[in-house]
Structure 1
Amino acid sequence: MKIFKNIVIVVFVLINSATTLKASDSIPRLVLGVGDRMPSQDMGQLMNGSRLPAAVGLSQRLVILDFMNTSCTSCLASLEKLRKLQNNFGDSLKIVLVTPETGERVSNFSARNDVITRSGLDVVVNDSLLFSLFPHRTVPHTAWILDGVVQAISFTEFVDSAHVADLLKAGEIDLPTKADFLQYNDAIPLQTNMLYQSKLPNSTFEGHLSFSNTKFGRYIDSTNRLVREYMINTPIVPAYLYVYGKIEKLPYMKPHRIVIESVAKEKFDFRHSVEKYEEIWKRKYSISYEALFSQETGLDEKMRWIINDLDSKVKLRSALEDRFVRCWIITEGRSKRSKLHNRQTTIADFAFMADLNADIPPILYDVPEDTMLSGRNWNTFSELKTLLNDNGLDLIEEERKIKVFVMYDKK
């Protein structure tokens, strides 16, 4: 099974296909920013054992460092695009993959999956130098270097033909910076006077804040016996799902489980046909929200108040409803189960993992959750059906009533 780049985990966290790396909470002292020159030392060890020269020692004017690792599905999904980009610009561009993983680990991965080899891109392994120059918490993470000078530190979605051509032509580029170390001080309310001098409960509602990354949380003011619930720089739908998820346990809220019945759908649902870059869309439509309650207010009461308040502020109605949705259903098969070895996965765990693929309908099962099966990779409905048939099970497609999140225009 493949889990694609556009998996959207929208219940508790927002990272679109990103992998969090182990890193210090503070930025290392010697780091590079836009306008800084790369050091003259070589950039690290390549997969073939040779060393990658310093940026100024390469024949290509533009060097793009793509920080990644083999467990980052969105990183791997972007390699085909990067391969085509490298081929299109030839000697003007050099794209380099950078990973802290060992050469052995990357080689073992490549033996099972040739996506890195097929890209034809150089891979810096055992990296620590480049990470120290361009520290980050999540991958993919991209640094743009022209004639030895850093021009941008961006999200990988901006690495495309238009931006490469513009940079090579103009000698500079203006991209949204991927800054993983922005700090939001939750001890300081966004609007102190409004929150603390108004009748409880009350709230503050703003748009995207340049000084913070996305953050959800709770701040307890024990002195005044107050609790502040906050959501900073989050798109509206994930904000709602975070709150609803505090009231009841939600399934993975993939796009099939989200229904937006609004004339202003572009505010709530990122679509490439409307906005080319998701980060631009997030900065345009994300909200920053805080609500203040007395410490005695129960969690359920707080969350329901926030839902009603958000409905009022975004001028919509929201709800969790049971609706008929096209689903893939795992059922008992007609044939007896063959004597397969390695039956170590329960149907509950298998269905949960399979359902994380945002490209396919929700996966349900009509067999006991402790049913054991032997799994393997699959990509399509027919391949999954064959896998299940081998385990004495079957796969059908039909509409089932499941829980969905709905947003309506207010009438």
Structure 2
Amino acid sequence: MNTLKLLTLVKIYINTYICQALARYSSRSYCKGTGRVLLICIILVSMFSLSAQTPRKDSGADGLPSTKALNIGDKIPQFLWDTPLEVVNHPSGQKTIKLSEYRDKKLMILDFWATWCSACIAAMPRIKELEEKYQKDVTVIAVTRDEASKAQKFLTTNETIKGLGIYSVVADKLLRTVFPHQLIPHYVWISSDGLVGAITSSGQLTEGNIIHFLADKTAQIPVRELIDPERPLFLSDKMQLNDLSFFSVLTRDVVDGLPSGNRYRKENGVIRGRAITNSSMEFLFSSAARGILQAKGKQLLDKEIFVEVKDSSRFYPVKDRDILSNVFNYELVVPTEKADSLYQYMLADLNRYTSYRATLERRKIKCLALRKKGDLSLIRSKGGKRENTLPFNKPSKITNYPLSSLVSRLNDLDCFALPVIDETGFMDHVDLTFSGALASETLKSELNAQGLDLKEVTRTREVLVIRDK
């Protein structure tokens, strides 16, 4: 017997019991507790009646309309047009908007972004320019999963976009469910008749493609191809890796649908491969060098990479209105038993197939040595929650971290031209505070006040040198 039938029988039984109780109560032969019994029965009837209700066919488990993923050619459901969406920085001061407010436009573009996505931010001025040029027919709505306070602050303070007057849907769950994606920026093109006309990356959001869309020539807009970065980049679906597999591949130019960055190929916890996509030649060489040095217990700092080439125009990425060139894709997988030689193979590959040659060399170079100036026991950590907000907050703090974390952050700062190395010998975790100012002299002064000093020295370091062949 299923649950619904069982609940129905229980309901009939309780109703019968109530009727009998009412009959006895009317003859005044029933006990004084009858009133309480009747109340409990009525509540139970209500509970079982509610439990036996059949959910609406058009609703999800939470009672809201189902939100299936939409693809090119699908029609936007009415509930999606009518759902209020939380928004910040709206020019009219609105706290929510509905997509239906923009149905008078021939083209609505949903721009999925995040405060941490540099590519999203870099594309916004150009997209805003296009929106204003075609404002009669086009509207662009920014959408982020970031919370309202974070997005509001970013939109009004970021140097690239603060003057653009961009408003954004925030704390989004609905739209990213309807239009799922792995990479951002991500753009969904919707026509006035409610059809998904295109789904693209920023490279396809051009004036020419907008003109095609408005002329109802959506077939001419390239579709964003989604590539699973967890799979070997150029391995057929028909082939599978095994512990003997060995291959490498190197290509130039952007592969749309892949992120910029890198992944490790592992087998049983052993790193036997690297995949680096949409990245610079310098990043490829430095990744190989870092892997080699790490096996020796050493570190390669960004400021210990020396690019000594005559023409750097083909060495570094070039960005033309949000389109990247001079980026590369490289993958190497070695047999499992050769995993400890992975980075030597990688460096040999890059030296063999590119126009450059990179070597690890010992050189005497100038550095900034972090040294003890006062009593370091005064900065020994008191424990508690670990924080490292240098240089992102004003004021900044480093709480319950080793000095190596401070050195790492100092090496990331452009205000120090020389690499920073730790010569304090202090191994305990520390608590440090900073004003958040990023001037080198200010930081040195604040370190002095906490028993530390930065002193220019000459040291022999193993560095990476990249030359023309």
TM bucket (normalised to shorter chain) is 0.5 to 0.7
- Where in structure 2 are the equivalents of 1:189-204 lying within 5 Å? 189=235, 203-204=247-248
Q: TM-score, normalised by structure 1?
A: 0.63
Residue type of the alignment partner of 2:70: V
Would you say 1:69 and 2:109 are equivalent positions? no
Instruction: For residues 292-338 of structure 1, give each alpha carbon's deviation from its aligned partner in whole angstroms, at most 9, with x where no partner exists.
Output: 43x443x3334323432432222542222344666555556699999
- 2:180 corresponding residue in structure 1: 135
When residues 391 and 100 of structure 1 are mapped into structure 2, their CA distance, relative to the original with a 3 A threshold, is same
CA deviation after TM superposition for structure 1 residue 124, in Å:
0.8
Indicate the residue corresponding to 2:143 in structure 1. 98
SS in 2 for 1:379: coil
The match for 1:205 among 249, 257, 267 is 249
Which residue of structure 1 lines up, in the alignment, with residue 275 of structure 2? 231
Q: Any idea what SS the aligned residue of 1:355 has?
A: helix
Larger helix proportion, structure 1 or 2?
Answer: 2
With over 3 angstroms needed to count, the CA separation of the structure-2 counterparts of 1:301 and 1:29, relative to structure 1, is same
Q: Does 1:51 align with 2:97?
A: yes
Using the alignment, how far apart are the partners of 1:213 and 1:80 within structure 2? 20
Identify the match of residue 467 of structure 2 among 394, 408, 411. Answer: 408
Contact 2:373/2:453, CA 8 A, preserved across alignment = yes
Matched, 1:260 2:316: no
Q: Distance in 2 between matches of 1:167 and 1:187?
A: 29
- The equivalent of 1:312 in structure 2 is 352
**CA deviation vs aligned residue, 1:213-264 (integer Å, no higher than 9, x gap):** 366444669xxxxx9745364544433433333333264753x443333456
**Contact persistence 1:186–1:219 (CA under 8 A):** no
| CA distance 1:216–1:349, shift in 2 (3 Å) | closer
Partner secondary structure for residue 258 of structure 2 = coil
Among residues 439, 450, 469, which one is paired with 1:380 in the alignment?
Answer: 439
Unmatched tracts of structure 2, length 5 or more = 1-66, 89-93, 380-394
Displacement, 1:46?
Answer: 1.6
Q: Is the 8 A contact 1:260 1:407 kept in 2?
A: yes
CA distance in 1, matches of 2:301, 2:323: 19
> Which residue pairs with 2:200 in the alignment?
153
2:443 maps to amino acid: L
What is the CA distance between 1:352 and its match in structure 2?
1.4
Q: Which moved more, 1:301-310 or 1:141-150?
A: 141-150
Q: How many residues align?
A: 356
Q: 1:30 aligns with which of 50, 60, 69?
A: 69
| C-alpha RMSD of the superposition | 5.0
- Counterpart CA distance in 1 for 2:189 and 2:198 is 5
Give ranges in structure 1 of 5+ residues lacking alignment.
1-27, 222-226
Give the partner amino acid of 1:81.
P
Give the direction of change, closer, same or farther, for the CA distance of 1:145–1:307 in structure 2 (3 Å limit).
Answer: same
Task: Name the structure, 1 or 2, with higher relative contact order (CA <8 Å, separation 6+).
Answer: 1
* Structure-2 separation of matches of 1:389 and 1:399: 21
Contact 1:102-1:126 at 8 Å conserved across structures: yes
Look up the equivalent residue of 1:32 and give its one-letter code.
N
In our comparison, the structure showing a higher alpha carbon Rg is: 2
Deviates more, 1:336-345 or 1:167-176: 336-345
Deviation at 1:278, TM superposition (A): 5.5
* More deviation, 348-357/85-94: 85-94
Deviation at 1:383? Answer: 4.2
The residue aligned with 1:356 is 412
Report the AA paired with residue 374 of structure 1: T
Matches of 1:336 and 1:305, distance apart in 2 = 44
Contact 1:158 1:277 in 2 (8 A): no
Q: Return the letter of the residue paired with 1:377.
A: G
**Residue 270 of structure 1 contacts residue 278 of structure 1 at CA under 8 Å; is this kept in 2?**
no
Quickly say closer, same or farther: Cα 1:318–1:220, change in 2 above 3 A: same
Q: Percent identity?
A: 19
Mark the CA change 1:78 to 1:314 in structure 2 (over 3 Å): closer, same or farther.
closer
* Cα distance, 1:131 vs structure 2: 0.8
What TM-score comes out, normalization by structure 2 length? 0.57
Taking structure 1 as reference, are residues 84 and 326 closer, same or farther at Cα in structure 2, changes over 3 Å only?
A: farther
Residue pair 2:289, 2:300 contacting (<8 A) in 1 also: no
Find the residue that maps to 1:207 and give its secondary structure: strand
Name the SS of the counterpart of 2:181 in structure 1: coil
